[in-house]
């Protein structure tokens, strides 16, 4: 989220005139804290609300002053928001992945799309065209049977006959048991329609390969855009794009560039509350806090006994 809240807790000694000290730091989850808009005459927020947001209970919502590094023992309990500056944002930072949010949704959507496709789109594989004269003759036969039996003819009788006939027809051209078989149909000349009539079965070209390949390309692009939104090289995210596994040298130099360009400012922000804690309790100290990172070297610069393959 490009920022975090820290609570500073002071000892109780200043109540009786003794020197103050910071006794502990507490992390406040980002979703449970909100900055209070600054009052008139102030440019920065002066208070922080801590509660069960977004629907806080007033009985369990607490208001704390903002921690002042220049006067660290001024308040018994105070809170401060530490963040990396976001362009054109006054107080709160904007997550760097916000611009890639749509890509994040696409990155995990390929599996669901293919499942839905297999369940729905792939169900229709054949187009069966039947002659209308066939159904006209069937309707005439049904009416004749109704006249002989004294039963009243209804349109639903023809629909039921169509369903039964199509189920029998489809059962002979679909399914594993019919793989490799053939079907023979004939057409006849209908002088009334001035055209040939007969049954026609045509497979539907759904271009499955083109569709799946397009979705895979979109997913690969989404993966790369999502990791870039977090400021991380796709190589360091262990992504395999277009079936290409990144080489060791690519990972090595990507890691070096990341350590050289992406971690210095986060180091300062993450360690700042702890540094202020130390400076307040030990004025004039030369102690500086930072994150330790192992320097990765190329295998050719490592002695043979210390190389990765020897320690695997």
pLDDT at res. 202:
77
Q: Give the C-alpha separation, 216 to 107, whole Å.
A: 10
**Which tokens belong to 193?**
């329609």
The residue that leads in pLDDT, 278 or 217, is 278
CA distances from 212 to 31, 116, 117, 245 (A): 39, 12, 10, 21
Q: Is the dihedral of CA 210, 216, 221, 226 positive or negative?
A: positive
Neighbours of 107 (CB within 10 A): 20
pLDDT value, residue 239: 61
H helix and E strand count, the chain: 8, 10
pLDDT level of residue 195 (50, 70, 90 thresholds): confident
Question: Do residues 27 and 6 make contact, with C-beta atoms less than 8 angstroms apart?
Answer: yes
Average pLDDT score, the chain: 80
Nearest alpha-carbon partner for 280 in 82, 81, 78, 91: 78
Confidence at residue 297, expressed as pLDDT on a 0 to 100 scale? 66
Domain residue ranges of the chain, discontinuous segments joined by +: 3-94, 126-203
| pLDDT higher than 60, residue 71 | yes
Q: Is 53 exposed, middle or buried (0-12, 13-18, 19+ CB in 10 A)?
A: middle
How confident is the model over 132-182, as pLDDT tens digits? 888 888 899 999 999 999 889 999 999 999 888 888 877 776 666 656 666
Q: How far apart are CA 189 and CA 140, in angstroms?
A: 20
Q: For residues 66 and 75, what is the distance between their CA atoms, to the nearest angstrom?
A: 9
Residue 117's pLDDT band (cuts 50, 70, 90): confident
Query: Higher pLDDT residue, 222 or 40?
Result: 40
What's the pTM?
A: 0.58
């Amino acid at each position: 989220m490009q920022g975090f809240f820290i609570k500073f807790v002071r000892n109780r000694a200043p109540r009786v005139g003794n020197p103050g000290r910071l006794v502990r730091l507490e992390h406040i989850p980002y979703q449970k804290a909100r900055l209070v808009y600054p009052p008139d005459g102030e440019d920065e927020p002066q208070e922080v609300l801590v509660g069960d947001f977004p629907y806080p209970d007033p009985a369990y919502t607490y208001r704390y002053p903002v921690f002042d590094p220049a006067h660290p023992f001024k308040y018994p309990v105070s809170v401060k928001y530490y963040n990396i500056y976001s362009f054109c944002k006054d107080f709160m930072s904007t997550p760097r992945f916000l611009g890639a949010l749509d890509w994040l949704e696409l990155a995990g959507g390929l599996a669901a799309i293919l499942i839905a496709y297999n369940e729905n789109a792939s169900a229709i594989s054949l187009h069966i065209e039947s002659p209308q004269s066939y159904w006209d003759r069937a309707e005439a036969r049904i009416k004749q049977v109704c006249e002989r039996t004294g039963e009243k003819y209804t349109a639903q009788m023809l629909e039921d006959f169509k369903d039964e006939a199509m189920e029998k027809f489809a059962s002979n051209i679909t399914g594993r048991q019919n793989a490799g078989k053939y079907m023979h149909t004939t057409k006849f000349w209908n002088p009334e329609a001035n055209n040939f009539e007969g049954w026609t079965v045509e497979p539907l070209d759904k271009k499955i390969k083109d569709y799946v390949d397009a979705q895979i390309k979109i997913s690969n692009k989404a993966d790369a855009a999502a990791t870039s939104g977090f400021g991380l090289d796709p190589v360091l995210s262990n992504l395999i794009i277009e079936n290409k596994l990144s080489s060791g040298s690519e990972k090595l130099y990507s890691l070096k560039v990341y350590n050289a360009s992406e971690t210095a400012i986060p180091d300062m922000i993450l360690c700042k509350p702890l540094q202020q804690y130390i400076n307040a309790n030990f004025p004039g100290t030369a102690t500086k806090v930072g994150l330790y990172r192992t320097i990765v070297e190329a295998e050719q610069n490592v002695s043979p006994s210390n190389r990765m393959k020897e320690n695997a």
